[in-house]
Amino acid sequence: MNALTTARRLTLTTYEELKKTISVEAVYLLSDSEIVLNWLKNEDTSKVIGHKREDCATRGLRAEELHEHIWWKGPEFLSKEQKDWPEETRLFEVPLETADVLQISVQKEDTPLFNVDRFSSMSKLGKTVTYVLKFLNRATRNLPDATKDRITKAIGMEKENEATTPI
């Protein structure tokens, strides 16, 4: 329950920032914890209902299993459209009297990576861009190529060597 509370707080903070620049339609907080989902769904929270087999925190994992575990990517259905999700996902809204409900979805808009008006000179902008791109390069160094490609496409930089191109 603490994890879902933390997720709700982080989601709300993120939503408050996102709504300043983009239109947000819906947000989904997903959990595989039957306990938490049933506590949210029912007002009677006195019952505890076992854990799911995917909950490696309670059953443990070997090091080689952890590398490719579901926790890193989530269940496979999350990468599909919501209409293609399995019926057992059991989406439901939490009653307002028991918890805060926030639904957000993001419509993709082309927004600049940097607000150039915030920089007093092109030199400072260039240094900031270089710093951010170096950080991204280091942060993604050990990621699979597919993940790196998604990140570079998301920020509009198709080639890694563009980070070294002078402005």
pLDDT over threshold 60, residue 53:
no
1-17: per-residue pLDDT in tens? Answer: 577 778 888 888 888 88
Tokens of 160: 């890694």
Mean pLDDT score of the chain:
72
Written as six digits, the tokens of 127 are 């240094």
Please enumerate in sequence order all residues whose Cβ is within 8 A of that of 147, keeping only pairs 6 or more positions apart, or say none: 140
Q: Look at 28-32, 123-127, 138-142, 145-149 and tell me which has the smallest mean pLDDT.
A: 28-32
> 60 falls in which pLDDT band (50, 70, 90)?
low
Give the per-residue pLDDT at 50. 45
Cα 104 from Cα 8, distance rounded (Å): 12
Contact 29, 7 (CB under 8 A): yes
pLDDT at 51 over 50: no
Assign residue 38 a region (left: φ > 0; alpha: ψ between -120 and 50; beta: otherwise): alpha
Instruction: Print burial letters for 68-84: b (CB count within 10 Å at least 16), e (below 16).
Output: eeeeeeeeeeeeeeeee
- Please write the tens of the pLDDT for every residue from 18-29: 888 888 888 877
| Confidence class for position 46, pLDDT limits 50, 70, 90 | very low
